[in-house]
């Protein structure tokens, strides 16, 4: 697991700010972590193969924050059948 990026957020708004950070950096996440999971808690990004392990690590490091996580799609996952 890597800690890749940090951004500062206030304690009460951290979940919303972490969610917003994921939205704003989604393309970067796809470029770097396609096919993996990412979890953000209190401005700290965790990336790896196991969502469960990432959430557990985020909760241990930031026990008063609700982590936000998503699976990061691969570029080929964006192809849709019409």
Query: CA distances (Å), 14 to each of 29, 34, 44, 63, 67, in order?
Result: 19, 24, 11, 12, 9
Give residue 13's pLDDT band: very low, low, confident or very high (50, 70, 90): low
Q: What is the pLDDT of residue 22?
A: 94
d(CA 80, CA 46): 28
Q: What is the pLDDT of residue 34?
A: 95
pLDDT digits (tens, 9 = 90+) for 36-64: 999 999 999 999 999 999 999 999 999 99
Give residue 79's pLDDT band: very low, low, confident or very high (50, 70, 90): confident
């Amino acid at each position: 697991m890597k800690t890749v990026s940090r951004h500062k957020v206030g304690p009460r708004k951290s979940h919303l700010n972490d969610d917003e950070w994921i939205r704003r950096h989604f393309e970067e996440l796809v470029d770097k972590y396609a096919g993996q999971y990412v979890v953000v808690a209190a401005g700290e990004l965790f990336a790896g193969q196991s969502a469960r392990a990432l959430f557990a690590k985020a909760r241990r490091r930031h026990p008063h924050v609700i982590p936000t996580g998503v699976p990061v799609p691969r570029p080929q996952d964006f192809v849709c059948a019409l």
